[in-house]
Amino acid sequence: MSGSDVEVVVIGGGAAGIAAARRLHEAGVDTLLVEARDRLGGRGYTIADGRGHAIDLGCGWLHSADHNPFVAIAEAQGAVIDRTPPPWSRPMPQPGFNLADQEAFGEAFEAFDAGIATIGETGPDRPAAAFLERGGRWNALLDAVSGYYSGAPLARVSARDLDRYVDEGVDWRIPAGYGAVIAAHAASLRVALGRAVETIDHSGRRLTIETADGPILADRVIVTLPASLIAEEAVRFRPALPDKVEAARGLPLGLADKLFLTLEAPQAFAPDSRLIGRPDRTETASYHMRPFGRPQIEVYFGGDLADALEDEGEAGFVDFARAELVGLFGADFARHIAPLAHHGWRRDPFARGAYSYALPGRADDRARLAAPVDGRLFFAGEACSRHDFSTAHGALRTGLAAAEALLAMRAGAGA
C-alpha cells in the first residue's frame, strides 16, 4: 500500500468511517478506508465465546431501536433482532434492593431527569450533579448509573449536553453481535487494516496521510477517530488545527467496560434479569444475568470505578465482581462463576475510552469538532453528534453527513 494515491481517504473503521466510506463508494468515488486495528468495527467489538455464542465487548444495544438505522442494516444482513425489553426497564427482586426501594430510585431518577430538562438552550450550562437532590438517598446510585451511560460522574458532565440527547426508550439487541453487524457493513469496500495514521499533512495541493507503512495521497479525507485521539494529538495535523484539538478536549471519552463471566447453575436466575451490586454506593457494578438466556453474566463497570480497575487488569474486574456477587449470594457462589472475556477500553490505544461526554459549558464543542476544514478535511464520529452521541447509530449518521458534505463540495468544485 505504500505510495497509495486515491481520491478520498476515510480514517477509522468504526461505524462512522464505514458509513462514510460506503456512501462514497456507492457514489462512485475512489475511496480507501484506513483502520489502525487488524479488524473493523471500532468500539463495536464482537468475539466468539468458545461455546457457540457471540458476545459484544463494545456496544451491544440498539438504542432508540425504532429509529436506529442499524436495525435495517442488520436485517438486510440476515441477522436476527431480539426485541426483549432491556432488564433495566422493569423492576426485579434482588438481595439488598427490594422492589419498594427500586421504585423509590426510579422516582429519584425521574426527578433528576426532569431537572436536567429545565436547562434549556439559554443561560449558563451547569454540571449535571447540580440537579441532584441535596442529600438525596439515591445520589450515589444516580452517580453510578451516570458512569454506565456517560462513563463519568455527574459532576463532570454537561447538563445541556445530556438534555440534548435523544432516547426513544426502545432498546433491542443482536444475538449474533452488534459489532459483527457494524464490521459486515463494510463489505465490498476497499480497506487497509493494521495501518495507523500518524500525520495528516494538508499543507500542499493534495493531502498526505502519513502512516508507518508509508504515505497515502488524497484529495480529501474524512477523519472518524475517537475524540480522545484528536485531543491527545495521537494523530497530528500539519499545519496544526488547534480549534479541533480544543473542541475534542471538551468532549473526553468516559469509560464503560464489560466483563463476561460463565455461570454454572443458571436456573437460579431468570433470563435477562439484572442486579446492582451495591445500590448504596457509586463504586458498584451492574450484573445482567443470563443475557439471551445464556449461562453467562454480563458485568458492566462505569466511570471512575472502571478507570481504577483498569490499572489492575482483568483480574481486578474479576475480583471486584466476585466480591459483590458473593456479598449478594454467599461465599458458595464464587465456585459457580469464572472469567470468560473482558476488554479495557481506556487501555485500548486506538480508543482510549468508551464514548464521549461533554464537560460543563462544552456541549457546543460537538459542532466545532464536526465542522469541515478548507473543504478538504471532514470529521465524523459519535462525539460529533448533537443528539445521538455515545451510540453506534449516532456515529453512523455523522459518517453519512460527512460523506454528503464531501460529495456536495466535490460537485461544487466540478470534481
* Homologous superfamily of the 4-43+63-80+174-252+355-413 domain (CATH): FAD/NAD(P)-binding domain (3.50.50.60)
pLDDT digits (tens, 9 = 90+) for 21-33: 999 999 999 999 9
Closest CA to 298 of 33, 91, 59: 59
Predicted local distance difference test score (pLDDT) of residue 1: 41
Residues of the chain with CATH 3.90.660.10: 87-170+256-343
pTM of the model: 0.96
Report DSSP letters for 183-240, one per residue: HHTTTT--EE-S--EEEEE-SSSSEEEEETTEEEEESEEEE---HHHHHTTSSEEES-
Specify the 3-state DSSP secondary structure of 296: strand
Take residue 130 and report the three cell numbers written for it: 447540580
- CA–CA separation, 354 and 356 (whole Å): 7
pLDDT digits (tens, 9 = 90+) for 361-400: 999 999 999 999 999 999 999 999 999 999 999 999 999 9
3-state secondary structure string, 128-175?
Answer: HHHHCCCCCCCHHHHHHHHHHHCCCCHHHCEHHHHHHCCCCCCCEECC
Burial category of 161 from C-beta neighbours within 10 Å (exposed 0-12, middle 13-18, buried 19 and up): buried
Predicted local distance difference test score (pLDDT) of residue 415: 61
Dihedral angle, C-alpha 62, 68, 71, 76, nearest 10 °: -150
pLDDT digits (tens, 9 = 90+) for 242-271: 999 999 999 999 999 999 999 998 778 999
CB 136, CB 39: distance < 8 Å? no
CB 3, CB 210: distance < 8 Å? no
Kindly report the backbone phi and psi dihedral angles of residue 40, in degrees, each rounded to the nearest multiple of 5, phi listed first.
Answer: -100, 165
Burial category of 84 from C-beta neighbours within 10 Å (exposed 0-12, middle 13-18, buried 19 and up): middle
CB 165, CB 7: distance < 8 Å? no
How confident is the model over 78-101, as a mean pLDDT?
94
How confident is the model over 62-75, as a mean pLDDT?
97
Closest CA to 24 of 37, 9, 3: 9
pLDDT digits (tens, 9 = 90+) for 133-161: 999 999 999 999 999 999 999 999 999 99
Closest CA to 381 of 102, 75, 18, 35: 18
Predicted local distance difference test score (pLDDT) of residue 36: 98
Architecture of domain 87-170+256-343: Alpha-Beta Complex (3.90)
Burial category of 51 from C-beta neighbours within 10 Å (exposed 0-12, middle 13-18, buried 19 and up): exposed
- CA–CA separation, 54 and 180 (whole Å): 9
Lowest mean pLDDT among 104-108, 184-188, 207-211, 410-414: 410-414
Sequence-distant (6+) residues with CB within 8 A of 354 are 43, 58, 151, 253, 254, 255, 256, 257, 345
- CA–CA separation, 92 and 275 (whole Å): 8
**70 pLDDT exceeds 60?**
yes
pLDDT category at 2 given cuts 50, 70, 90 is: very low
Pairing of strands 31-34, 8-11: parallel
CB 219, CB 208: distance < 8 Å? no
- CA–CA separation, 2 and 134 (whole Å): 60
**3 pLDDT exceeds 70?**
no
Predicted local distance difference test score (pLDDT) of residue 412: 86
Predicted local distance difference test score (pLDDT) of residue 237: 98
Q: Provide the greatest CA pair distance for the chain.
A: 71
